[in-house]
Structure 1
Amino acid sequence: MKSRVLSLLSLMIFVGVANVLAQEKSNYVSEVWVADQGDGTYKNPILYTDYSDPDVCRAGDDYYMTSSSFNCIPGLQILHSKDLVNWELIGAAIPNGLPPADVFSKPQHGNGVWAPSIRYHNNEFYIFYGDPDYGIYMTKAKDPAGPWSSLTLVKEGKGLIDACPLWDEDGRVYLVHGVAGSRASFKSVLSVCELNKEATKAITESVIVFDGHGKHPTIEGPKFYKKDGYYYIFAPGGGVPTGWQIVMRSKNVYGPYEDKIVLAQGKTAINGPHQGGWVDTPSGEDWFIHFQDVGAVGRIVHLQPMTWKNGWPVMGIDKDKDGCGDPVLTYKKPNVGKTYSIMTPAESDEFNDTKTGYQWQWHGNSSPFWIFNDATNGNMRLYSVLTPEDYKSLWDVPNLFLQKIPAPEFTATVKMTFHPNPENDGERAGFVIMGRDYGVVAIEDTKDGIVLSQGFCKGADKGKAEIINEKVTIKNNKPVYLRVTMQGENDCQFSYSFNGKKFTDIGQPFKAREGQWIGAKMGVFVNRHNYHKDSGWIDVDWFRVTK
């Protein structure tokens, strides 16, 4: 009997350990950047990745974040966390494309989704964002992983951006937003309007409640809160590279608002710490998530401790007690009642699923006929797409299959097989580091056979063409491993291999550069310049990010 009990206990322990290991195995952990230090502390940035203009909300013990996605689809990627330090991608609120479809079917660099806000109200999740060319949109969901409702145009108007709602105690709903100078020829003010109870339509005109001209130039990205009878607007000022975080408060939703700078760079290396969201924990702690612009890698995400003093928030560490904090590089993790497993948003992909990984985005509205997730054979097939008539470079192509740069230093390797259509000369596939300038290593079907080449395009955003640095003739239908290593000051070196072990550098080093309001991105593509009734394709076996 005793041995049977011990055996049963051993089995239970084994099953328990196996379950824990299985759970931990399912958590993706980056090889190139992990914020959780494993000792009860974390380091900033919590995401060394381009989640621009982040906002966050809490629902019970869970935290959800979204960010600006501009023209990239799926848009409004959703991240989930249990402790504000460890995050995973769980979906996207705009899975298929942006309106108007005929506009966003072509790359609209820097347009589309600007500075969203995410809120949890009455058991539903809401996201509001401004499109600078069309107005303020809203989508909502019962489950943040989706599905999300079709986009609703809440307030039409050119130049309306950076929207955030507030549900007041009396049931009324208000919206704060900014104005884009690039569209309205006017900026640096924040306005408030009222919405209907369903939060689907503005029912009043917008009223300017704060003018940042002079004192807080380029004020934008507002977030709306209410605490202890005060309406609070959190907003960044001073511009992205060197700005600061402002908080405004008033007893009246329409003001007048008094203002205070509560977070600035100080003597730290964290430039422009601003634009983000305030969130609390069930234990009563307050935290502020914001971004820092670091150029080619993009707008990376930081987590700052936050306290309240005399009715004002103080972010970071206020060493001189003036009410304005400096950002922290390391700090103790939020008190959420327990310790959770280390995890990071997915980067590598084995392509063993019928669904596309949440880390991937297209550079415009996508077509279901661009991709086949062939889980049976464990690969992803991308079909070649006809380039636009006014094609100058990959800057003009929407079917770039890309993800964000994961860290300042990394190696990314893709294993692919090129299957060009023999009746369609000029099909081309490859691995690209995309931005205003871009670097590429590509396989092309030419009249002289299959050619592997490396090149770059400097000034892609200015309509410049690619320059080829080196060409190598290779055999068709043979798997090839394409690699880029990024280190130092965004310096990238491309290489290739036919066995996955010995890699040969190709072409010249390339310096990665950011895109329009986004960091550089990396990924694969396959295109053709000539019309034919059928296409070739690439089979991508895997994409791996390593040190």
Structure 2
Amino acid sequence: MIPGPDLGDGTYRNPVLAADWSDPDVLRVGDDFYLTASSFGRAPGLPLLHSRDLVNWTLVGHALERLEPAADFGRPRHDCGVWAPSLRHHDDRFWIFWGDPDHGIHQINAPTIRGPWTRPHLIKSGQGLIDPCPLWDEETGEAYLVHAWARSRSGIKNRLTGHRMRPDGTELLDEGKVIVDADRIPGWFTLEGPKLYRHDGWFWILAPAGGVATGWQGALRAREFFGPYEERIVLEQGTSDINGPHQGGWVRTERGEDWFLHFQQRGAHGRVVHLQPMRWDAAGWPVLGDDGTPVRVHRKPELPAQPPSAPATDDDFPGGRFGRQWQWTANPQGGWTPQHSGDGLRLTCVRTPVTEDVRKLPNVLTQRLPAVPCAIEVELSLSAEVPGARAGLAVLGDAYGWIGLERGADGAVHLVHRFAEAVAERERDAAHPRLAPEGRARLRIEVGAGARCRFFADTGEGFRPGGPVFAATPWRWVGALLGLFAVAPSGAGSAGVGTFTRFRIAPDGN
């Protein structure tokens, strides 16, 4: 397991979530803090994390079992789907709103964080509608919603649109109005990711601008929801090494401390999550970090001490089941994971005409690539007699590499290591295949600085390296993923299974 951010001396080190938990939003209910994040085209979607101290987090489930419309997500759409959700608690229910840039704004709700969650309800259809956030105004009983725009779909950006909303969250009550036009704010561009709050008699929108990798966090306030808003930059990189810093959410502890969680773009590692202290200045504006600069190490929130924890990565696949940390690259189908009574994950070698490109496979089981030097190991056996059947461990992004086992035309099982560049339509060998005499292998990937990956395999004589260094790459919005898969060429009948056991991620390559 990768160690968490808790330094054990009353302080923590950022990032508090060192993996791709993109576009985080945070919420407190009683003594508990909850966080959700973008899940794009993976299923299940909308991860749900829990903490008691804002530093040590665990993954407790997902709110979205399958993406809808289901037909659109039967194949991988890595950068589409669930963008920038908002998590809220109102009327004794949890609510999540998100934008699908190709379909519109959806919401789901549940009586508890673990569900059952309702099916997605579309409250505003259209292309380019992203980053929605609701607000139920306890002072007036009114409900509102704000959202941003994706220029890639709508031709519009740098604007925030506001609506009145039915208090039950089922529909919007007007056509909407641009409440912030950042083209009119000198120096501001790509305003997005708004989070809407009511505080001290003001409507507040906390939203980033300036671009994911190089921008800043802004705050906007107005006496009326529809404006006019005044703005201020409240967090920017400054002299720190934390680029961005980008979109996130504000939370107040029961003792009245204010904190802000946001992400930082880290290339192939995606968008890692930082925790910043927050206070209010004499003019009533929020001040984040160390007077507007992100902190790397800081005292923990004044909350009861918690045991160190982090979202799970390791898996023994008890009873053939996989843990919450895994997501498919598309809506899953029956038969991908045959049931059995023993330990180990059996993945069916799914018959598909797209065996040459792992990026196009819907039946890849993935989890996030840690943003620290680490080593990933898993044991694999291939029980498939069909020539061309294969299974393996992949680092999956715009470019990808994998190492695993394949049944050859000669009837033997071979250890293979293959890769494909971002523009390639077919994968190539990264090393010469070699025999795996018992149809088994231990697979290992060592990830160093800059997400540079070295592949190794043990077929009975100890780990041996295979092929050159592979530099992991993200997709446009999604960090690189670790993936397990099994496929076979198109044809009739069963093609067998790949069985994975003892999946482990260890820090520092040890």
1:546 maps onto 2:506 in alignment = yes
Aligned to 2:62: 92
Q: 1:251 to 1:93 in 2, by over 3 A?
A: same
Partners of 2:439 and 2:413 in 1: CA distance = 10
1:136 maps onto 2:136 in alignment = no
Q: Displacement of 1:144 after TM fit?
A: 0.9
2:117 partner letter:
W
1:472 maps onto 2:433 in alignment = yes
Partners of 1:138 and 1:355 in 2: CA distance = 29
Partners of 2:77 and 2:189 in 1: CA distance = 27
Q: Displacement of 1:355 after TM fit?
A: 4.4
Aligned to 1:534: 494
1:278 maps onto 2:250 in alignment = yes
Aligned to 1:22: none
Q: Displacement of 1:354 after TM fit?
A: 5.9
Q: Secondary structure at the match of 1:538?
A: strand
Q: Displacement of 1:451 after TM fit?
A: 1.6
1:264-301 CA distance string (max 9 Å, x none)? 00010000012000001001000000000010111000
1:293 maps onto 2:265 in alignment = yes
1:198-251 CA distance string (max 9 Å, x none)? 101112111100011253200000000001110000100000000000000000
Asked if the contact 1:124/1:143 (under 8 Å) is kept, the reply is yes
Aligned to 1:15: none
Between 471-480 and 241-250, report the one with greater CA deviation: 471-480
Aligned to 1:411: 375
1:78 maps onto 2:48 in alignment = yes
Partners of 1:353 and 1:248 in 2: CA distance = 51
Q: Displacement of 1:406 after TM fit?
A: 1.6
Q: Displacement of 1:388 after TM fit?
A: 4.4
1:211 maps onto 2:171 in alignment = no
Partners of 1:246 and 1:33 in 2: CA distance = 32
1:147 partner letter:
P
Asked if the contact 2:390/2:405 (under 8 Å) is kept, the reply is yes
Partners of 2:320 and 2:34 in 1: CA distance = 25
Partners of 2:465 and 2:347 in 1: CA distance = 26
1:440 maps onto 2:402 in alignment = yes
Aligned to 1:313: 286
Partners of 1:355 and 1:98 in 2: CA distance = 21
Q: Displacement of 1:33 after TM fit?
A: 3.6
Aligned to 1:387: 352
Structure with bigger gyration radius: 1
Partners of 2:425 and 2:272 in 1: CA distance = 29
1:188 maps onto 2:158 in alignment = yes
Asked if the contact 2:377/2:445 (under 8 Å) is kept, the reply is yes
Q: Secondary structure at the match of 1:370?
A: coil
2:293 partner letter:
D
Partners of 1:47 and 1:80 in 2: CA distance = 12
1:379 partner letter:
G
The within-5 A match list for 1:96-245 is: 97-169=66-138, 170-213=140-183, 214-245=186-217
2:430 partner letter:
N
Asked if the contact 1:425/1:530 (under 8 Å) is kept, the reply is no
Partners of 1:542 and 1:367 in 2: CA distance = 24
1:231 partner letter:
F
Q: Secondary structure at the match of 2:335?
A: helix
In structure 2, stretches of 5+ residues that fail to align are none
1:376-409 CA distance string (max 9 Å, x none)? 31111110112346x6511111111110012321
Partners of 1:243 and 1:443 in 2: CA distance = 44
Between 43-52 and 199-208, report the one with greater CA deviation: 199-208
Partners of 2:132 and 2:424 in 1: CA distance = 33
The within-5 A match list for 1:350-365 is: 350-353=316-319, 355-365=321-331
Q: 1:355 to 1:469 in 2, by over 3 A?
A: closer
Asked if the contact 2:321/2:345 (under 8 Å) is kept, the reply is no
Q: Displacement of 1:498 after TM fit?
A: 3.0
Query: Which of 292, 297, 301 is the matching residue for 1:334?
Result: 301
Q: 1:538 to 1:477 in 2, by over 3 A?
A: farther
Aligned to 2:419: 456
Partners of 1:392 and 1:204 in 2: CA distance = 49
Aligned to 2:453: 492
Aligned to 2:362: 398
Q: Secondary structure at the match of 1:183?
A: helix
1:111 partner letter:
C
In structure 1, stretches of 5+ residues that fail to align are 1-29, 319-324
Q: 1:418 to 1:142 in 2, by over 3 A?
A: same
1:60 maps onto 2:21 in alignment = no
Partners of 2:276 and 2:134 in 1: CA distance = 23
Query: Which of 315, 335, 343 is the matching residue for 1:369?
Result: 335
Between 521-530 and 68-77, report the one with greater CA deviation: 521-530
Q: 1:197 to 1:354 in 2, by over 3 A?
A: farther
Q: 1:181 to 1:41 in 2, by over 3 A?
A: same
Aligned to 2:478: 518
Partners of 2:284 and 2:260 in 1: CA distance = 16
1:249 maps onto 2:221 in alignment = yes
Partners of 1:135 and 1:372 in 2: CA distance = 35
2:501 partner letter:
D
Aligned to 1:378: 343
Q: 1:243 to 1:129 in 2, by over 3 A?
A: same
Partners of 1:388 and 1:282 in 2: CA distance = 55
2:302 partner letter:
N
Q: Displacement of 1:527 after TM fit?
A: 0.8
RMSD of aligned alpha carbons: 1.4
Q: Displacement of 1:480 after TM fit?
A: 1.3
Aligned length: 502
Partners of 2:94 and 2:42 in 1: CA distance = 22
Partners of 2:80 and 2:167 in 1: CA distance = 29
Q: Displacement of 1:518 after TM fit?
A: 1.0
Aligned to 1:26: none
Q: TM-score w.r.t. structure 1 length?
A: 0.89
Partners of 1:380 and 1:314 in 2: CA distance = 48
2:167 partner letter:
K
Q: Secondary structure at the match of 2:450?
A: coil
Asked if the contact 2:353/2:490 (under 8 Å) is kept, the reply is no
Q: Secondary structure at the match of 1:233?
A: strand
Q: Secondary structure at the match of 1:130?
A: strand
Question: Percent identity at matched positions?
Answer: 42
